[in-house]
Amino acid sequence: MSKICSFKRDFSEILPLQKACQLCYEAEKGPGGQTRFVLSCSGDRAEREELCLRGLGEECAAQLVRFLYENAVLLANWKEILTQSLELYMNEDCLPGQEPPGKGL
């Protein structure tokens, strides 16, 4: 896999509302036109989740990851928000000359 982009966001400890953690938003390009989106959280409760899509250009993947980062999207709902955002790209023909992406592995 080759990294397309990566953004990190730090959250400070504000008790009792939140604990300190760092969220990392990433996109990677894999074989066969696969794009892997990764959201990981470090801190007391380290977590990592992935979502793989096929047929998605690197520019589109980078914009989607940047959107997640700039809006501080959390692990609880990032896949849903990513999917909805991708639908906006498809409806606006923002992927000229590319196959419509579909869920991969």
Q: Domain segments of the chain: what residues?
A: 2-96
d(CA 8, CA 68): 11
Pairwise pLDDT comparison (82 vs 105), residue with the higher score: 82
pLDDT digits (tens, 9 = 90+) for 15-33: 999 899 999 999 999 988 8
Tokens of 24: 């990392």
pLDDT digits (tens, 9 = 90+) for 59-74: 999 999 999 999 999 9
- The whole-number pLDDT of residue 93 equals 55
Q: Can you give the pTM of this predicted structure? A: 0.82
d(CA 28, CA 35): 6
